[in-house]
Each structure stands twice: as C-alpha cells, then as structure tokens.
Structure 1
C-alpha cells in the first residue's frame, strides 16, 4: 500500500525513488526498470513527482496545473495529455490501473507503492533539445493548417499571464474604459448547473463587447480567475481594466436569482450592486437590464451604431436557450463524446426553436472543428455543413459575429484572401471587442503577405485578451517569423508549445524557426516529433496545405523545413 509522505520532500528532487516497479530519476527526467530506460518530458515528470508525494491521495486537475504549469492557464487537455503519456510510459491502463487511478470529476490518485527519498532540486534540462519526444498526431492535411485554429480559437485556451511588450495592455490613443466580467458563481444546489452560470456570464461579455466605447476583456482571460482569491484591484491591475464585475446566480424550476456587483478597479469600492429575483421567462429582459445598469454606472455613452448591435432580433424560448448553453458548455470541453453531445444539444435547440440563429452558428462551429479533429466527417463535408448552417444563421440574423468568423476561416482555407479579410472585419464591426476575430484577421493577413498589418491586429487581440492564449502566440510568432524576427518568433512558438502540449500546428513553425536560427539539433528534434506518428508528412504536403500567398515567403518556409530534416 502507498505510504503517506510530506509533499514538500518531493519538491526537491535529487536522489532516485521508486514507484511500483519503476525507479524514478527526476534529475535526468528518466524512469528505469532493469535495463529499460524511458525519457519523460519535464512537465510529465513534475506530474509524476507531485502524485508520488501524495500516494493514495486524490489530487485535482487544478492542483496538477498549478504545480506543473505555475502562473499559466493551460488548455483542458494539458493535464490529460500528461497523464496519458505517464500511463503509457509506466505500462498502465486507465480501465484497469496499477499506477494511476482516475476519479471522475475529482482528479487522479497514485495507487502504486512509493519507496525511497529525495533531497535537492534538480537542474532541469535547459532548452528544447533536452526535452523528450512529444507525440504529435497530425490531422488530415487538407484542413490541417487553417481549420485546426478553429478547434483551439473558441475554447478556453492555454494562456500565459505575461505579454511580451511588458504589460497586460497595448497603449491606445485616448482612454476607453475597460471592464472584466468574471465568471458568475453558481449558488444552486445542483453543481451541474454551472453551465448555465457560465453561459449567462459569456452572454453578458458578448453584449458588452458590442460597444465601441467600452473595451471588454475576453472570456479566456476573465475566466482564468474562476475560484481565485485575488482582490478586485489586483485583477484590474493584471488585466489593465478600470472595472471588475462579479456575480452569483441561483436557478430554480421557474425562478432565477442573480446578485451583481460592479467594483472600481482602482479603489476596490462598489460602484453599483443589485439583487434580482425574477421569473425564468424574464431572463432575456433581465440580461438587458443588467447590461444597461452597468453602462449607466460607468457612464458609457452608447453610439447609434452600438444601439443597433445591442438589439435582439429574436428571443428564444428558455428551453431552447438552455439547450444552447448546454451545447456551448460541451463544445468547450473538447472531446469526442462532448462534441457529439454539443451537436445533440444544438440540434435540440434548433428543433425547439427553428428561428434561433445562434444555435445554427454554434452548430456550424462544431462541424468545422469536427472536420479538423477527424472524428466523424471529412474536411470538405464538415465545411459544407458549416457553410449551410451559417447561411441559415445569416438569413435569420445578420448580427451574429461568429457567422463571419467561421466564414473567414473557410475563405482562407480556399485561398480567397480578400473575402477572408472582409469576413473577419465584418465580425469585428459587429463586435468591436471580439478578440479572437482580431487574432483571426492577423492570421489571414499573415497568409496574405501583410505581416506588419497583422502585428497591428495582434496588438488589439492581446489588449482584449491579455493572458495571451497559445493560439495567439502561434499567430504572433508566425508574423515575426515572416518578418525575419526569429528571436521573437521562437519565444512565441516555444511558449505556445509549453502552454498547449497537444497544439500540433505550432511545432511545424517551431521546427522551421529553429532551422532559421541555425539550431539544427532542436530543429531535427521537432521534425522527429512530427514523423514519429505521421511518417508521410512532408514538405510537399506543407506546400499544398498551407495557404501562403507570397511565393518568396513560402519557399523560405519550405527551405527551413527541409533544413530541419522534413523530407520532400
């Protein structure tokens, strides 16, 4: 049976210790059994050591994230990926575990015996060349480059709380007030109602984001503070905003109770607070009332064009809206099962209310990502379904920005650069604070050969989403790489890989950037990562799949990949 140990002893790793049949050498990131040696990634080793310090104890996903990725908000699959790699190395099985047990909705528990001790902290290997190979399952090349972004862009992505220019915001001319809407707390007796509280929060962020006279922190950065203990002034300083909105929600069968508090980010004092107790059927009117009260409290003027954006063209039934929020929740969990459940909930919302345009747009996003992940549809089939759905959504409501976001991705994939740019700009015109649309525009401009313009768009995206998701790192790194600024490109690519371990696209650019930086060892290591699970991946595939317009840039990119060891 496992023995209880002081967790602090495992934070200082020097002497080997044993877990079950394996000897663990943290300093060299190796596990050994007899003559067999297996190299682990540093992050995977950290997870193993953290579990080994607590044998027999359930360790939550959040605890593992805090230990292995301190100060970062990582993708949902970061811990899962580390556990999968750890089980594979140990020869363990999830269904019949001998080493690591998964407890649904609770976390993980090391059930193998732990023996031996540890002393001083190891000097972890420096640089990329010291890391163990990380499996990369490259998807269908037809949609590999462009569409894989959709699979990451609209999710809670892996993020880094720092920004390379030294702050959480990008300077702008004149002062536009900023606000962060933190995730509402579900006070209901049913924890499964968290999706509803999250959906209400996201809708409020979306409504406020349509205003040109206010800048609103993106969902990804705001939701990073879920369950945190930071004070409102601390959060305001980190995000560079003037105001912080906090709230709680309790839903019963036919009623909803919401408490909302708007805090001055500088002083920490309440500017406005209200408690609402309404019939559930009044939910949409209540959302509008809360948004109006916020704008009144911070004295934001609403331009005529903003009023048009704020109007609701269609009020869905509460039953359809509930199904829509369930679909949104499952969409964000990113697994095969959750994707199918998202499709089912969106379809149910449409069946209940065939005029509910947002449900069509949500379903279009799922189908595009589904094509990327290759679970049920080919890339072209997924694109065709997505186009059909967004056409229906546009016919019902032309003011849904996600419609143009998806269209921009499809246009880029088909190398219609002008149309792709116009689609991204249309999404921004509807929702000026749409951080992901600004990042999408930067990505399109990168492929269109307009790197300098793309960097300007990325500055806007980072200002709105200051915890800088991994996907933004990739886009900004590609823009720097296109401009020949290899040092900055490498910083972004490496951060993207660290924040989102399964984010395969960034590794292709990272290999090219290493070659450009005359670091052949690192470049060849990244290429081995690619070829390990996809032996057929080649330069010719990249030429076909990556929609790079400028032939000079395209050939430089391909030459760097050849120098990295990627076969023709």
Structure 2
C-alpha cells in the first residue's frame, strides 16, 4: 500500500514522484476525514463541513468519495484507504499523511517516464523588494500544481526544482532533475509596471522553444497572478500545447515503426490528420498503437473519443463498430480519470441525449468543480451550460475564461464561441467566430442560423449550400438530437432559426418544416 502525503492547501496527493491533483471539494472531504482518521464520520457531518448552509444530497458525498478512491487506486469492496461503514458514514483507514508545503521532503524525479517531464524552476527576481520574489514563487508553485492536472505530462516536484542551482548550464539542470523541459521565468519592475517573462527550455539542447512576456500595471496581485498562471499553464499543455508541439517536432520524419507508445499519441494529434475521414482513420491507427503499449494513458483514450465522434458524424452515426469503440473509450477514460472535464462533457451529453437529465446535471456540476489548466475544459463547460442547463451567464463566463487563456484561438476554439453566441442572440459575434476556422459542420450550422436570424437570407442561403456540399444528407433535426440540444429554451431558439432556414431549402420535407414551426412557437 502506498504512503500518500496530502497537501490540502494545494489540493494534491503526493507519493514519491507521483503527484495527483484533486478538486477543491474532494480535498475538503479528504481533509475532514484526515482530521478524524480512524473514526467514523457521518455523511451529515461531511455535508455540514464541506457545504455549510447548502442543501446537498448524500449522493454528492458518495461521488466525491468515489473520486478520492479513484485517485488513490482504492476499492470500495476491499478498501485500503477509505472505508464505507454502512448506514453510518465513512472512515479514513489508510496511510495518508496531511502535510504542508513547508514540511514536504524533496525527492528525485522518477526515471524512464513514458510522458514528457517538465520542471518549473524558481523564478529570477530583478528587484530588491522581497514581495516580488514571494509573488513569483507563488505563481511558479501554482503553475506546477496546474501542470500536475494535465495527464499527458509529468512534473518534477516544486521542492526538487526550487532547490536546484540555476546558475549552471540548463542542460545539466535538466539532467539532474530528469526533465526533458524546463520552465524558467523572471520579473522586473519598472515604476508602475511589472514585466514578467516565461521561457520553455529544451533540456536536451538548452535552447528556448517558447516564450511569453507580459507587461502589466502594478495593482491587485492576486488577479494578476491568476491571469499569468492560466495563460502559461494552458500554453504548455494539451494537444496543441507547446510541450506537445516540441514532441511532435522531435519525431518529425521518423518512421512509424520506430515510435514508442507516447510518440504514436503525439502523431495521432497531428492537425493535418483531422481534415478528412482518411486522416482521422490514420489518427485512430496511431491511437491503437499507443494504447496497445500504454493502456493507461488517459489522454489517448480521450483523443480516441474525439476521433471516433468526428468519424461517426461523417458517417451519420451509422458505423456500429465506431460507436462501440467510442463507448469503450469513454468508459475507459472515465475509469482512469473520473475528473477529466472533457470526459465529463461527453458523458453529460450522452446522458442528456438518452433523456437522463438528472445524471447530466450532476455531471455538469462535477465538471464545473474541476480546475484544469486546459482552456478546452472551459469551452466544454460553456457548451454544457447552454445546451443542457440553459445558464447563459455561467456559459459566457466559462467561454470568456477559456478564450482568455489562449493567445491566438484556433478555429475549433472559435466554433464553441460561434455556437454559444448564437444561443445568446449575439448573431454578429457568432458569424465572425464561425469564419475564424475552416468550414467545419458546426461552424457552418451556426453561421447559417445566425445569418437567418439577422435577416441576411442571401448569405444564409449560400452557407446552407456550402453545408449541403460538405454533407448532402445533413439534417437539422438529427444534428440537434446528436449534439444534443436538450434544454427547451435552447431547442426553441434553435428551431426558430431552423424554421427560417428551411424555407430557403426546397429539399426540406413539409413535415420537418411544420415541426420546426411548432418548436419555434413553444
């Protein structure tokens, strides 16, 4: 049985070089159990401690206990860490030691990582005021914590990386820490402006491969720190993050047979493979090769979900083998990481599609409770908030939060914006966002609908023709069901626009037109 150190303030579990991030609520539950170790803690006591003054069902407590067990590798039937005492509550029985940052013992990074390892070094402070060193140390710590939540990379502990002498050759620093990449940073203060620079260093060559500079007025430090942490962490992780890009460049030109499991995953995420069905199937082959070697790589299972869904959309959801592969990938990814926001997003959509709104809403709450560094997570949450919850304020906040972390949003990021802007009634923003990327079905759908609602019928007709050119069998009703658009308010807005568009389309059956008119009137 592993001996875990639990840092509640950082919401992390640490065992050797293994660092697992958990949600704030899960950390609060574990913290309360740890404070009463070996004693039975009733559900009602946990609810009062973690959700004071709120009406919360016991089911939500069980969900967070499930999340903690998943993080710890525990089994409810044969518990080693958290025991369920039927009818009474829960008891912490395992070797979990509450620890503070200051008490942590440095450790060496593990060797032979199957994922890229990154070390966040202690920042340089070109100002004598001690507050700035403390501020930057806090920013670097928060970035380290955020990076531990990205499953496709590994992170050297802050205690090891901060203890290193950064005056030596950075290649030697990387070798000592066992890291492929180093994140170095500095701050210089000029009058009322703070210049903060982050640079990503290739540990093999010592060369800089990415940099980020911000010049911000000195004001409230907490929001400034949060902004920097969000932008830097998001830039580094994810399928289009700088670490992934560096790994992709490293294997460019290599034969597929020479790639290891992780490198097959990297090649599967090549944007050039996402352009058509043949490329997507090639991507799926790389993912199969990856998972045959590394079956526990969560990111590969998530990407399998994405690719299968794209291919299924192209086939009109008729390919049963693809749908079965998609379902298995969702199940496997959720088992490995029940806190991955994108998987929660997929499961919420699946639940809503099947009519199980209770489960869908529960999954949305869990997704909103995560603190992922990846902007994609916020974009996924924005979709759930509008398609299922019809919570425009929360949806817009999540969208803006996600886009604020991206310096140059890619086309697929803007498709989330186009869809949300349509449902918010901001049709000009929806059209502009849909134009930012290539002509994907989602971009074309909400561009067409927004143009129709803006009474730009000639443009809507041209967009509809383009949409039909991409998919001659496209049907607005099937699209709404497969997405799904589940909330009545969202459906009414959607079909109000579809009713206008279908009058431009001579191929639309009268029964469908009548149904659109009926929904629009509700």
Shorter chain as denominator, the TM-score bin is 0.3 to 0.5
Normalised by the length of structure 2, the TM-score is 0.45
What is the TM-score when the length of structure 1 is the normalising length? Answer: 0.42
